[in-house]
Chains A and B, each alone.
Chain A
């Protein structure tokens, strides 16, 4: 924290009581804002997200320290009336309209002019001053008004430091446009804390809160009524409390979607796949991202499975319930894998439907392992015949175990073979 010489002197004198000491410190920071921002307002950088700092909260009243601050607050006019009172919060980020800029700049310019031109009148630092004068001291803030990162504000802002303690990765959030400014604007006790308590009541574990907020900081600006309504809707659809918490942890944007949209999605999956409500629930609990994204890629993937690959209805149902990721997979990659498995490896539809994990695996892995087995003439995928290798063993086992158990060769041989492909 930055204290000028006068304030240090003032504190040492011990003339001001403890209650006012706190207010003076806050005042300091307020006055820092007031002076510095107007003088140093710059046009923000176009490409990088910039966190703007401008003066605000000058008309506020401070609950524990009543009268002293009102005297100060008259210096700059402020338009925003919705601002609530803050204790430690001293940062405010707005994309101000130009007139506010001019207003504030004019006001503080006059202040600067006063101080500059009345140099002779300025008292010496060693002169003792009364309390009211001490309180009215305006010190420029050390905080930059415009910054590309949140680093200068983290120590001073209660919201940001609490978020860091929770485990939120601020460096990822500050790269997204406008998110950094939004976070700095938030008040911890009014905005952030109620929502964190709400998430805790929901059942989201504390270690996961950090990653949740990193992926979806906008949960802090969503209104609590909306969030509660959506949770109530999910509970009404017979999702248990733990499953709702798990879904929210896995898909952080879930609660930002309206009830209508969630309803639409759930209805689509139930109708299209022809699953019972319980199975749809299990599907959605396993992959809650299905409720968040658009439905067009899912429809396309289902069409591809039906028409291009030629799977039957019940086979598609089994595949989707076993490996839900197939619905969100890349169409081109899915086609590539299926083409190789069905045409080159010669595996029929029924066997692929029995082991749908194959469709989720990496294509290069399947290709290299299959060609290795073929080279060793051990590529036997028919269950009826001896030394049968099931598809999930082909795909899931790590390299060493695959080489030793399935291919019955050494890892070096496999690497040598890979270099001949």
Chain B
């Protein structure tokens, strides 16, 4: 492999976010990005071919004008190193993928290159929260909760008002809050637990079902409505089912007409790359933009391993909460971060 190609390959190391269009399988996105990178890498000039000694019948010397052919050695580039014989320098680039998005949804999709592929697992396991925008439509119910599915029933929705909807959302948020407390395995009677709950740093331990930490209605225009959701450990099908359940609670039926992920942990939609930007230069720039967040994920991953060994639940909560702290888009985020860094420093020593 040539030096230029190797240098370019070394630069492709890190995490970046991509905006997945709706209707496209996540694998196609990953394969497209990989093929663009491979095209760029293989366009670098190939290494020079080896020179081999070949004995060729050449006319001996310029002095003699006779047609006397003798075998004389000469250094000839070997055809075995010709790019048409060896093929392209790179056949594969490992592009890892973070939390997947199914074909119906669109939004932020985290991809990893090189060494950062190992961090993707950290990101998934670190229980980071994700922001979604769900678009719903009252009046019908389908078999797969999408507006493109087979319609099972149709209902009226004239009785639905915004405050009824808000009440139902508040009830759902309440049940989810209780679930969060239960799964974080924290005794709410203690002072520390109370402080964590106050700051919003409660966290599920181990496996948990999908939990919504935030839910509100952005737009209400019957039959269409839009919800904003912050959740942990979810799947897109669960979110579509949520819309269906909201409809059921309001004694009507609802289908989901769009699931859009606006944030996946520290990766937001502002820095995600659109389809036209899936080129090597843009990807390298995006990796540079996300370098600090990548470093933080790596550090938190290592810290979690050492904290697990020391075996204190509160420490673990704090370390995981460090991730969460950056993710919550709240007003007190700055204070929380400064608190957390102080806490981290204290618990490190």
A18 interfacial by beta-carbon distance below 8 Å: yes
From residue A272, how far is it (CB to closest CB) to chain B in Å? 33
A203 interfacial by beta-carbon distance below 8 Å: no
On whether the beta carbons of B71 and A164 are closer than 8 Å, the reply is: no
From residue A407, how far is it (CB to closest CB) to chain B in Å? 15
Q: Which one of B24, B78, B274 contacts A415 once the chains associate, using CB atoms below 8 Å?
A: B274
On whether the beta carbons of A170 and B84 are closer than 8 Å, the reply is: yes
Give how many A residues have a beta carbon under 8 Å from the other chain's beta carbons. 31
A67 interfacial by beta-carbon distance below 8 Å: no
Count of chain A to chain B residue pairs whose CB atoms are closer than 8 Å in the complex:
68
A307 interfacial by beta-carbon distance below 8 Å: no
Q: Which one of A22, A25, A171, A364 contacts B24 once the chains associate, using CB atoms below 8 Å?
A: A364
On whether the beta carbons of A1 and B54 are closer than 8 Å, the reply is: yes
Q: Which one of B21, B69, B82, B276 contacts A154 once the chains associate, using CB atoms below 8 Å?
A: B82
Question: What's the Cα separation between A415 and B70 when bound, in Å?
Answer: 69
On whether the beta carbons of B85 and A22 are closer than 8 Å, the reply is: no
Kindly state the interface size class of chain B when it binds its partner. Answer: 20 to 34
From residue A183, how far is it (CB to closest CB) to chain B in Å? 12
CB-contacts of A148-183 with B (<8 A): 149-152, 154-155, 160-161, 164, 167-172
A418 interfacial by beta-carbon distance below 8 Å: yes
On whether the beta carbons of B272 and A419 are closer than 8 Å, the reply is: yes
On whether the beta carbons of A151 and B86 are closer than 8 Å, the reply is: yes
On whether the beta carbons of B272 and A171 are closer than 8 Å, the reply is: no
Query: In the complex, what residue of chain A is closest to B78 when comparing beta carbons?
Result: A155
From residue A333, how far is it (CB to closest CB) to chain B in Å? 11
Question: What's the Cα separation between A21 and B284 when bound, in Å?
Answer: 59
Q: Which one of A1, A149, A155, A421 contacts B79 once the chains associate, using CB atoms below 8 Å?
A: A155
Query: In the complex, what residue of chain A is closest to B77 when comparing beta carbons?
Result: A155
On whether the beta carbons of B69 and A18 are closer than 8 Å, the reply is: yes
On whether the beta carbons of B85 and A154 are closer than 8 Å, the reply is: yes
Q: Which one of A160, A170, A419 contacts B274 once the chains associate, using CB atoms below 8 Å?
A: A419
A9 interfacial by beta-carbon distance below 8 Å: no
From residue B290, how far is it (CB to closest CB) to chain A in Å? 17
On whether the beta carbons of A421 and B21 are closer than 8 Å, the reply is: yes
A388 interfacial by beta-carbon distance below 8 Å: no
A198 interfacial by beta-carbon distance below 8 Å: no
Q: Which one of A18, A151, A363 contacts B80 once the chains associate, using CB atoms below 8 Å?
A: A151
From residue B21, how far is it (CB to closest CB) to chain A in Å? 6
Question: What's the Cα separation between A168 and B23 when bound, in Å?
Answer: 39
Q: Which chain B residues border A171 with CB–CB below 8 Å?
A: 84-88
From residue B97, how far is it (CB to closest CB) to chain A in Å? 19
Query: In the complex, what residue of chain B is closest to A368 when comparing beta carbons?
Result: B21
Question: What's the Cα separation between A17 and B52 when bound, in Å?
Answer: 26
Assess A418 versus B272: contact at CB under 8 Å? Given A154-B80, A161-B79, A364-B24. no
Most A CB within 10 A of own CB, among B269, B275, B277 = B275
On whether the beta carbons of B87 and A154 are closer than 8 Å, the reply is: no
From residue A294, how far is it (CB to closest CB) to chain B in Å? 26
B220 interfacial by beta-carbon distance below 8 Å: no
CB-contacts of A129-162 with B (<8 A): 149-152, 154-155, 160-161
From residue B196, how far is it (CB to closest CB) to chain A in Å? 34
Mask: chain A, 212-234; 1 = CB below 8 Å from B; 0 = not: 00000000000000000000000
Q: Which one of B52, B70, B86, B269 contacts A155 once the chains associate, using CB atoms below 8 Å?
A: B52
On whether the beta carbons of A364 and B79 are closer than 8 Å, the reply is: no
B106 interfacial by beta-carbon distance below 8 Å: yes
From residue B108, how far is it (CB to closest CB) to chain A in Å? 9
On whether the beta carbons of B85 and A150 are closer than 8 Å, the reply is: yes
Q: Which chain B residues border A418 with CB–CB below 8 Å?
A: 19, 21, 274-275
Q: Which chain A residues border B69 with CB–CB below 8 Å?
A: 18
Q: Which chain A residues border B82 with CB–CB below 8 Å?
A: 154, 164
Question: What's the Cα separation between A420 and B23 when bound, in Å?
Answer: 14
Most A CB within 10 A of own CB, among B19, B84, B272 = B84
Mask: chain B, 70-103; 1 = CB below 8 Å from A; 0 = not: 1100000011101011111000000000000000
Question: What's the Cα separation between A363 and B21 when bound, in Å?
Answer: 11
Q: Which chain A residues border B106 with CB–CB below 8 Å?
A: 421
From residue B141, how far is it (CB to closest CB) to chain A in Å? 22
A399 interfacial by beta-carbon distance below 8 Å: yes
A11 interfacial by beta-carbon distance below 8 Å: yes
From residue A107, how far is it (CB to closest CB) to chain B in Å? 30
Mask: chain B, 5-33; 1 = CB below 8 Å from A; 0 = not: 00000000000000101111000000000
Q: Which chain A residues border B345 with CB–CB below 8 Å?
A: none
Question: What's the Cα separation between A415 and B269 when bound, in Å?
Answer: 11
Question: What's the Cα separation between A21 and B69 when bound, in Å?
Answer: 10
From residue A309, how far is it (CB to closest CB) to chain B in Å? 20
B55 interfacial by beta-carbon distance below 8 Å: yes
Q: Which chain A residues border B276 with CB–CB below 8 Å?
A: 399, 415
Q: Which chain B residues border A420 with CB–CB below 8 Å?
A: 260
On whether the beta carbons of B24 and A151 are closer than 8 Å, the reply is: no
Question: What's the Cα separation between A169 and B78 when bound, in Å?
Answer: 16
Assess A419 versus B19: contact at CB under 8 Å? Given A150-B85, A169-B84, A364-B275. yes
B57 interfacial by beta-carbon distance below 8 Å: yes
Question: What's the Cα separation between A160 and B85 when bound, in Å?
Answer: 10
B62 interfacial by beta-carbon distance below 8 Å: no
From residue A389, how far is it (CB to closest CB) to chain B in Å? 21
B68 interfacial by beta-carbon distance below 8 Å: yes
Q: Which chain A residues border B68 with CB–CB below 8 Å?
A: 18
Question: What's the Cα separation between A421 and B57 when bound, in Å?
Answer: 69
Q: Which chain A residues border B24 with CB–CB below 8 Å?
A: 364
Q: Which one of A164, A363, A368, A399 contacts B85 once the chains associate, using CB atoms below 8 Å?
A: A164
Q: Which chain A residues border B84 with CB–CB below 8 Å?
A: 164, 167-171
Question: What's the Cα separation between A214 and B60 when bound, in Å?
Answer: 39
Q: Which one of A22, A152, A419 contacts B269 once the chains associate, using CB atoms below 8 Å?
A: A419
Q: Which chain B residues border A3 with CB–CB below 8 Å?
A: 55
Q: Which chain B residues border A11 with CB–CB below 8 Å?
A: 71
Q: Which chain B residues border A22 with CB–CB below 8 Å?
A: 57
Question: What's the Cα separation between A169 and B277 when bound, in Å?
Answer: 31
From residue A304, how far is it (CB to closest CB) to chain B in Å? 20
Assess A1 versus B87: contact at CB under 8 Å? Given A155-B78, A364-B21, A399-B276. no
On whether the beta carbons of A151 and B269 are closer than 8 Å, the reply is: no
Q: Which chain A residues border B23 with CB–CB below 8 Å?
A: 363-364
Q: A18-B69, A420-B260 known; 7 other A-B pairs, CB under 8 Å? A: A1-B55, A22-B57, A171-B85, A171-B86, A364-B21, A415-B274, A421-B260
Pull 18 A–B residue pairs with CB atoms less than 8 Å apart, ordered by A: A3-B55, A18-B68, A21-B71, A25-B71, A151-B85, A151-B86, A155-B52, A155-B79, A160-B79, A161-B79, A167-B84, A169-B84, A169-B87, A171-B85, A171-B86, A172-B87, A364-B24, A421-B22
The 3 closest A-B pairs by CB, nearest first: A171-B87, A151-B80, A154-B79
Residues of A at under 8 Å CB distance from B?
Answer: 1, 3, 11, 18, 21-22, 25, 149-152, 154-155, 160-161, 164, 167-172, 363-364, 368, 399, 415, 418-421
